[in-house]
Amino acid sequence: MDWKNQVILITGGTGSFGKKFTQTLLAEKQPKKVIIFSRDELKQHEMQVGEFNHPSLRYFIGDIRDRERLVRAMHGVNIVVHAAALKQVPACEYNPMEAIKTNIMGTANVVEAALDAGVKKVMTISTDKAVSPANLYGATKLAAEKLTVQNNAYAAGTATRYSCVRYGNVVGSRGSVVPLFLKQRESGMITITDERMTRFWLSLDQGVKFVIDCIEQMEGGEVFVPKIPSTKVIDLAKAIVPNAKINIIGIRPGEKLHEDLISDDEARHSVELDSMYVIQPAEATWFGYSWKDKGKPLPDGFTYTSDNNSEWLDIDGIKKFVAPFEELFKQGKLEG
């Protein structure tokens, strides 16, 4: 795939993922143009006057709730990476209609505007919380996945193709537990909801590179799931604050003990490759089923959950993941 001739639009481009994705594209792929689409003028300004003043960059103020603005922004765009979302679980629980308007209706606007604008590829960024969701955020991301994948049915007679990437917690991203634990380190007291809790983990670099790889390989209709390690949240706390006092505060509404990346129902139409799983569309009414010839089928009853994972990070492994954020935290540059 020749990235140098591509025009890419990133919804939520001022977020943790959007900035790292933009930085990686400019450094490694040199695309023709990258459009940052977001609703926060201050964050766009901070990007422009900071490290993101590259001549290939364009900044569009807009909200994914505004379909007309999306159509305008997507004019001449080849690839859309849809990363905009309300993602804080408690905020989504308290403001359910806002989560629905952004994560569901906003995604509908993105996929429909892309079809009208003749965009070639749309990749929606999803989350492990979309699998068997226990909270509204997860439910809205499940709906976003369904909207994205199913839009291939409307696009089958065109060049537009839609896929999703689904992965776990991103270490050090905005709103993650790493900045929280680093702040709590000053008091020596770490709060954990349940000592049994496990999570999937990957770095922002890994997430970005996985998305780029999947954009290059996508045919439309797939949900791509990387093979990533699990960690115990209590081990994460001990890695950041070795002698911390642990305060168990109880599991919060909508929170799971363990996260899922592939359910047993999805496993029946998924295949395993060396570094990832590919969930093929449940109904092969259009395309996206040629992956069965590239990977091996999963065994009956297979699930991919953070507690049954074959790959784990121990405390030393976690320290290596967290080390870059230690320095950012000291410099006051780590976003909470």
Query: What positions carry a catalytic annotation?
Result: 129
- Beta strands 296-297 and 270-272 are antiparallel
The C-alpha atoms of residue 288 and residue 163 are separated, in whole angstroms, by 9
* 329/154 Cα distance (integer angstroms): 46
Cα 334 from chain centre:
19
Kind plus residue range of the DSSP H or E element containing 21: helix 16-28
Strands annotated E in 23-133: 33-38, 57-61, 79-82, 121-127
Locate tokens 């930085």: which residue?
23
Closest by CA to 309, choosing from 213, 225, 199, 162, is 199
Whole-number Å distance between alpha carbons of 64 and 57: 19
The rounded distance, in Å, linking the Cα atoms of 323 and 315 is: 12
Cα-to-chain-centroid distance, residue 148: 14
Q: On the CB side of 300, how many CA atoms lie within 13 Å of its CA?
A: 0
- How many C-beta neighbours within 10 Å does residue 23 have? 16
